[in-house]
Structures are given as structure tokens and as C-alpha cells.
Amino acid sequence: MLLSTLLLGLLSGVAGQTATSSAFDALATRPSSVLGNATAFVDAKFHPPSGPVKVTGMLQDGLGIFLGIPFAQPPVGDLRFKKPVPASYEKHIMATERPPACLQQLGSVAANVSGISEDCLFVNVITPANAVGEGCKLKDLPVLVWIYGGGFYGGSAVLYTSPSLSSHALNSGKPIVLVTIGYRVGIFGFGHGREMRANGALNLGLRDQLLGLQWVKDNIAGFGGDPCKVTIFGESAGSMSVSAHMLNQTQDLFRGAIMQSGTVTSLGGFGDDTVYQEPYDKLVEFAGCNGTESSFLCLKALSGEDLLAAQVEMTSSKFAYTWGYPFGPAIDGDLIPASPYHMIENGTFSKIPFIAGCNSDEGTTFISASLSPNLTAWPLSTAMEIAYPFPLPQEFYDRIGGFYPRDGTGCPFNSGTDLFNGSVSAAWKQVTAVFTDLLMESRRRWLLRTANGHGLNQTWSYEFRGYSPPDPPYWGSSHEADKPYVFGRAVPELGYSPDQVALGKAMMDYWINFVYCLDPNGEGDSGLAHWPTHDFPTNKNSLEMDIGSLKVIQDDFREQSMAYINEPQNAFYIRKRDM
């Protein structure tokens, strides 16, 4: 009702990510230019059922980089809206070109992808050069598999193939095999609605990820990896995907998990068909499929470009849709058989070691996409109605406002009452604080404590407080700000200070240790600050990762407010709509 007051120029539900994304993508795109000048090549070989396949990649700084290896048949034509089918192979694959991202709206969460295509189900592998080929000296290396974020409607696997993380691991004496997996997004991979359900077209993006993980299990030995030592990690929607895969108690595709900003009970889906039918019907309307005998078959018959255009029109027709909420995982009775909340609450999940953390000011990114930093007049409920895609009762706002007063505190949480020389208002800081805890922090805390309650005590919590230029200072430690640090992009060339560079190296070391030992402390030989486990209620240990400081804190900040958010009877939409 107040959409006319908003600036809707950016269609991305996380349009506020553009500053951090620009910093990250500046080096994420380096492989194409660096590898384009490569003169040395390296071969690997894997053995699918059809017979051995030689893969030629490129050699760079002691690493073999293999781009665009298909793991599934192109999901086009009759295979659109179907579960992925394993790829068929020729005897030789040239894996030297950046593969396209899956069809998505460019200029949003994937501004720098190297083209888009419906034929997009590829893996990229970075491994030590002496772990492949004849006479290789390294084998049985631990494997780290990345699942990218992007709100389930954007993102790209190839953006994460810059060799910085792998080079750091190699130079530190703990080489790894890094894999990134492409998966379908938006209507192509995460559509909702009765028609999608009736045709078995739910959760296709998650199924793409699973087939990619199966490819890793079957073939990663040919790249020097140990299929029994796989850790999966992801950020945002990728982190939510990681925890979704943990719902399978009997899975044998990975032994550890790292979740960066998001769990399966965070924003991103699990509503029933009555909630998600409206955006499907809107998309059908914009696609010109109204009145057809089968809207599903009509959508399936469209060109990829026309279907994407209809999706873009649909998401721009209502601000709540721009969050990407029409797309995401769903309860399908199979891959996700029941409410993820109840499954975890009842202990129905894979009891594997995991790390889960958040950035301290996640909400600033999201709110910057929808509300002016100078917001002053609106009550919390009005602002949330615009920025948050699901209705919450007035009772919730009355109570939550007491926990997050409009007094200038809030996000960034370490800024006191600072309004950054008038750049933001007290009202804006209040809304961003609520968002941070509603979507991310409360979900992380609940997952850790619930897992501990079911006897899983190999869990580690962290709170990231770093900053990524060129984000504005009032964003604080915003959503995505951790990625440059984890992937080795926190470098002086992009404006990072020596302390920030050091923080990035520490985070990479923790992550690499976890891949090796299922413990971020490794064997105590890395010189890192000790990171104790989180084992509620005995302790609430969490590692605060700040610029110039690594210290253990207790994860009890904003205890009362997050306890309220986590109450089962609360109308917080995820609990309300998937129960």
C-alpha cells in the first residue's frame, strides 16, 4: 500500500549487496583474464560408468584449474522442470573456459557472471597440479565444496574459482580440492505452486546440488580428492541449502558443513501452496499462459529468455516479490519430507560436525534495498510491512519494539547511538536490527542450541564483525561482507588494511583446518586463537572475528529478544507457515 514511496529501481531482493559484491567480484572475475593468458595445461582423468574421461584444465601457480565440467545433462527442452539427469561424456573434455551461470536476471545478485544459459549444470575444480596426471604425488586430499548464495534466484559457481583460497591452502602445507557447483535458480530451479508440485518440479535446484555432490563422490579421486573427506559450505541461500541437505539423516555425500549467514529455517521458502500460488499465477499471467489447458506445460514450452522475462516482470510487480521469496526450497514429501523446523526440533537431521555463523549487521544490506536510510516517520510495523515479505501481527511489533528501541542504537550494533553524520536515522537502525535477528542471528542460535540438545556437541559458532570496502560505514558487518575474507579477496589491492588481510588469513586457516580435521583448530599447529566448541547449555561459546582481534565471547547477546523470536507460538512466518 506504500510501494509508491519506495525506490524500486533495483529488482534484486538483495540489491543492497552491490557494494560488497563489487568488491568481491573484482577479484572473483580474475580467472578468466589470468587463465586466458595461460600457456600451460594440466590433465586429469575420471571414470564414469561409460568409461574413462580425460579433462584438460589450466596450470597456474602450482594449481590445476578445471572449469565447466558437466555433471548433468542440459536441463533444457523436455528436461526443463525435471530432476537432473547425469551427464554423458565424450572421451576428452576441454575444461578451460568459464561456463555460464544459470538463467537469471543480470545486474542483481550476479552482476559479473560470465553469461547466462539454461545449460548451466557444471562443476569447477581447483586442485594442486601434482594431485592429477601421471606420477602425481598427492592424493586423498580433503575436499571443500561451495554452494553459492543469491536468494535462490541468482548466483554463479564460476565467480568462486579465483585460486586465492586454494593457493593459501597449498602454501600453508594443507592442500585441498575446491569444487563449486552450478544449480538452477528462480522459476527454473525453485518454483512453487500447485502446478509445480503436481508435476514434481519442486526443489530442482537442491537436486542439482545433490547430483553435483554425487559427482564429487564418484569422480573427485581423479582430481586428487578423497570422496570420504568432503565438507560442504555456503553463504546466504547457499548456507540455507547446506543445512537443507543436513536434513537427510542417512546422507553419505559429506562429513562436515559450514554455514555462513543462513540456515534452513531462515528466509527462503517452506510456505504452503496457498502462500506461493499468487506469485506463480502472476508469472503465468506475464508469460501469456493464462487460459491454456496447462499453465505448467505452457511455461515449459517457452524459450528460456521468454520465461526469464516473465519472471523479471513478476518480481518487479510487487516489492515483496523482489526478495526472491517466490523461489526457494519447499516441503515436497521426499527431499524435504516435513517441516524443517520440526525435523530439527525432533532430531531428524545428520549429526555431523558443523560451523554456523553470522555477520553482526546482516540486516543493513537487506533494508538498504527497500527503505531510505533517512527513514523517520513510519512506525516499525509500517516499515516492516514494506521490507518484509510476510505479514506479522501487531502484537509482534508491540513486543519486539520494546527489545529494539528507536533510540539510535541498533545496526550497526557496535556503533552506539551514532547516526553517521546524519547518513541514517534512528528508525532505520531499529528496523535493520530487527531484520538482523529475525532472519539470521535467531536462526543460527536456535540451530546450534537445538543440535546441542540432541547430543551433537561438535559445533562451532562465530560472529563476524569485519568490514568490506567499499560498503558505506553505516552498513557495518553486512550480509556478504565475510566472503572476501574466506575466499582470499581481502587484499591491499582492494583497499583492505593489514589487519583485515590478517583476519582473512585466519578465517581461511580455520576453514581449511575444519576440512582436514573436522575441527577449526586443526592439530594446534596453526598459531590461531583457540576456538572452543559451542555446547549449550554447558556453554555458549562463540568466536568473535573482528578486525585486529579474535576472541571468545558468549553467544548470549540480545538473549531476551531472540528468545522471543524463537518462541514456537510466535507468528514469525517460517514457523507459522511450515507447521
For residue range 520-566, what is the model confidence (pLDDT) as tens digits? 999 877 789 999 999 999 999 999 999 999 999 999 999 999 999 88
Measuring CA to CA, how many Å separate 511 from each of 36, 112, 322, 519?
29, 26, 33, 9
Q: What residue numbers bound the domain in which 389 lies?
A: 1-270+328-579
Helix or strand holding residue 192 (H, E): none
Measuring CA to CA, how many Å separate 517 from each of 256, 275, 354, 456, 514?
10, 43, 12, 16, 5
Q: 441: which 3 cell numbers?
A: 542471528
* 28 pLDDT tier (thresholds 50, 70, 90): very low
Please report the pLDDT score of residue 387 as a whole number. 66
CATH of the domain at 458: 3.40.50.1820
Domain count, the chain: 1
Active site (annotated) includes residue 479: yes
| Residue 303 belongs to some domain of the structure | no
Q: Is the full-model pTM beyond 0.85?
A: yes
Q: What is the amino acid identity at position 46?
A: F
**pLDDT at position 476 over 90:** yes
Please report the pLDDT score of residue 567 as a whole number. 85
Q: 109: which 3 cell numbers?
A: 545478485
Catalytic hit among 479, 480, 542, 561: 479
Nearest CA to 96 out of 134, 127, 64, 121 is that of 64
| Residue 240 belongs to some domain of the structure | yes
Catalytic hit among 195, 362, 385, 463: 362
| Residue 111 belongs to some domain of the structure | yes
| Residue 282 belongs to some domain of the structure | no
Q: Which residues contact 22 (CB under 8 A, 6 or more apart)?
A: 111, 470
Question: In whole numbers, what is the pLDDT of the chain averaged over residues?
Answer: 88
pLDDT tens, residue by residue, 403-412: 999 999 999 9
pLDDT tens, residue by residue, 506-531: 999 999 999 999 999 998 777 899 99
> Between β-strands 541-546 and 549-554, what pairing exists: parallel, antiparallel or unpaired?
antiparallel
| Residue 73 belongs to some domain of the structure | yes
Q: Of 37-46, 262-271, 278-287, where does the model show the most confidence?
A: 278-287
Neighbours of 579 (CB within 10 A): 10
| Residue 475 belongs to some domain of the structure | yes
Buried b (16+ CB within 10 A) or exposed e, 441-453: bbbbbbbbbbbbe
Asked if residue 406 lies in contact with residue 376, where contact means CB atoms within 8 angstroms, the answer is no
Catalytic hit among 108, 164, 236, 561: 236
| Residue 288 belongs to some domain of the structure | no
Mean pLDDT throughout 143-161? 95
Q: How many CA atoms lie within 13 A of 343 on its CB side?
A: 23
Please report the pLDDT score of residue 389 as a whole number. 63
- Rounded Cα gap, residues 298 and 308, in angstroms: 14
Mean pLDDT throughout 338-364? 95
The residues facing 553 across adjacent strands are: 542
Nearest CA to 503 out of 541, 545, 441 is that of 545
DSSP string, 137-161: ---SEEEEEEE--STTS---SGGG-
| Residue 389 belongs to some domain of the structure | yes
